[in-house]
Structure formats: structure tokens, C-alpha cells
Amino acid sequence: MGAFFHTILYQPLLNALIFLYNTVAFEDFGLAIIFLTIIIRLILFPVFQKSALHQKQMQDLQPKLKKLQDHHKGDKAKQAEAMMALYKEHKVSPFSGFLLLLIQLPILITLYQVFRKSLSPDFLTSLYSFVHAPGAINYSFLGLINLAEKNIIIVILAAAAQYFQAKLSLPKVQPGQNLTTAERMGKNMVYLGPALTGFILLSLPSALGLFWIVGSLFSIGQQIIINKEPNVGELAKLPKQSN
């Protein structure tokens, strides 16, 4: 399995990074990272878009789901049946978010590995014969930041970008509205996620932080587009529960 991922994912992404470094990035490693991240996100745009749209649809359905749960309180079978009918009515699968995540993860993890291993001296051994191996990699970003070293500014920007991305993905909550468990967890993750990201990136080369920033900025733009989509609809009128 390791050899499969190396050949199918790692090696093509590594060669693309060096090709970009040699050409449009003008031997600026930071620009090469930015260009490669944007290209990958554009290729995966339909998958990320569908995943974000699915998340918004699930959020929009939460009031209906809660009403169904209250209506069929005490009868788990009818509750599950009604929930599945609601999903079918709005053409939403509760499992599609997980499947979309499985599609994205291998590529994102491989990108992480490419940027991490690109800082080691032997990473150029995986280049194709037609990709020129530079004599030495210039790890500078615009002549300002050495991406092979830690950088607190990159860490702060990465955490801030993730915070705004998470903030945009939260559903709108009316003042005084009682939050569901999922909504409370989502609200907490707005702060926990960036804090955890900052903590992890503090010990890593800033090349990985730059990759994280570009991906988060792309997701922010995508989330803004998603948030302009109309809601899945008004709350369904459910029959009153009989005594």
C-alpha cells in the first residue's frame, strides 16, 4: 500500500512542486507551495464544494431533525424512519460527508508529506527523469521568510485563517436560542481548532504553515459562496403528537 501511494500520489505531487519551483515560481519555494496548493484545491473544488454544501444542508435540517426527535420521543424506530424520510425528501445522505472526507484525506495527507519531506536532503531522488533537479533549494519565501525554519508569524496567520474559516461555517443562531449538542461542539471547535493548529505548527517548519494558510484561505472563499446558497427550506409542519 505504501508503494502504491508513493507512485500514485506522493511522486506526482513532489514532481509538480519541483516543476513549479523551476518555472513559474522563479525558484521561490514559498510561491511553489502556494501554486501547488491552489492547483490541487482547484482540481478538488467539486469535492470540497459538495462537502461544504452537504455540511450546510445538514445544519439547515437540524431544526427539522430536532422536531422529529421530539415528535417521536420514546420510539427510536419511528424516529429513525422519519429522519431517513427527511433525508430522502431533501436528497441528503447522512453518510456522504464521511465519504467525501475519505476522498480528500489521502491527497491532503500526501501534500503534507511532500512539503515535510521536501525539507530533507534526499527528497529529490523521487523526481522523474524529465523534471530538472535543482542544485540546491531556495527555501526563502519572497526573500522574507525561511520556510525550512519555524516562524511565529506564519503560525499566527495559519491559526487566524482557520478561525475565520470555522466561524463562517457555523450556522446562524438567534439570541436566546437553545443549542443542540452538535451546535455546541461546533461552536467550541471554532476556538479549539485554531489553538490546536497553532500548537502543532509551532514545532514544524513554516513551509507547512504556509500550506495550511493557503488551504484555509481557499476554504474561506468557498464557504462564502456556500453561505450565499438558499436554505433547504422552511420547517416542515409536523402533526401534533397525540397523548
Per-residue pLDDT of the chain (243 residues; tens, 9 = 90+): 577 778 888 889 889 999 999 999 989 999 999 999 999 888 888 877 777 776 777 777 777 777 877 777 777 787 778 777 777 777 666 655 555 556 667 877 887 788 777 777 777 888 898 998 888 888 889 988 999 889 999 999 999 998 998 888 776 655 555 655 656 666 777 888 889 889 988 988 898 899 889 988 988 888 887 777 655 444 334 444 444
Note the pLDDT of residue 232. 40
| Nearest Cα residue to 162 out of 203, 110, 101, 223 | 223
Q: Tell me which long-range contacts 212-216 makes (C-beta under 8 A, separation of at least 24).
A: 212/158, 212/161, 212/162, 213/154, 213/157, 213/158, 213/161, 214/33, 214/34, 214/37, 214/38, 214/41, 215/37, 215/41, 215/108, 216/158, 216/161, 216/162, 216/164, 216/165
Strand-pair partners of 140: 146
Query: What does the alpha-carbon distance between residue 26 and residue 216 come to, in Å, rounded to a whole number?
Result: 24
Give the angle subtended at the CA of 128 by the CAs of 122 and 132, to the nearest 5°.
Answer: 75
Strand-pair partners of 196: none
Note the pLDDT of residue 134. 87
The answer, as to whether pTM is greater than 0.85, is: no
Cell of 75: 420510539
Rounded to a whole number of angstroms, the distance between the first and last alpha carbons of the chain is 58
Note the pLDDT of residue 172. 65
Note the pLDDT of residue 173. 58
The 3-state DSSP class for residue 140 equals strand
Note the pLDDT of residue 99. 58
Cell of 102: 475519505
Query: What does the alpha-carbon distance between residue 33 and residue 122 come to, in Å, rounded to a whole number?
Result: 19
Q: Measure CA 219 to chain center.
A: 7
Note the pLDDT of residue 222. 80
Note the pLDDT of residue 186. 66
